[in-house]
Amino acid sequence: MKSLFFAIAIISFSAVNAAETNAQAKGIDTQNQQTTNVDNKAGSITTGTGRGIDFGGKPVARTLLNNPYRLASKRDILLTTIANLMTERNLVVDEASSRLSSGIVVSAPFVFAKGAVITTSQLSRYANLPESVDDNWTRGRYTLTVDVQSIDGTNNNVSVTAKVEGRAETLLGGNWQTLNSTGEAENDFLAALVERVTGVSSDDAPKLDEPSPEELRKAAKQDAKSDTKTTAPKVKKP
Question: Which domains can be identified in the chain, with CATH numbers?
Answer: 69-199 (3.30.310.80)
d(CA 162, CA 169) in angstroms, rounded, equals 23
Could you tell me whether strands 155-170 and 173-181 are parallel, antiparallel, or unpaired per DSSP bridges?
A: antiparallel
pLDDT tens digits for 209-233? 455 555 556 656 666 665 555 555 5
- Do 140 and 166 form a contact (C-beta atoms < 8 A)? yes
38 pLDDT tier (thresholds 50, 70, 90): very low
Give pLDDT, residue 200.
Answer: 82
Q: Is residue 127 a contact partner of residue 166, using CB atoms and an 8 Å limit? A: yes
Burial 182-212 (b: 16+ CB within 10 A, else e): bbbbbbbbbbebbbebeeeebeebbeeeeee
End-to-end CA distance of the chain: 139
More confident residue, 130 or 235: 130
Task: Count the neighbouring beta carbons within 10 Å of the beta carbon of residue 138.
Answer: 18
Say which residue, 211 or 62, is predicted with more confidence: 62
pLDDT over 90 for what percent of the chain? 48
Beta bridge partners of residue 167, listed in sequence order: 139, 176
CA–CA dist 193, 4 (Å, integer): 99
Q: What is the pTM of this model?
A: 0.61
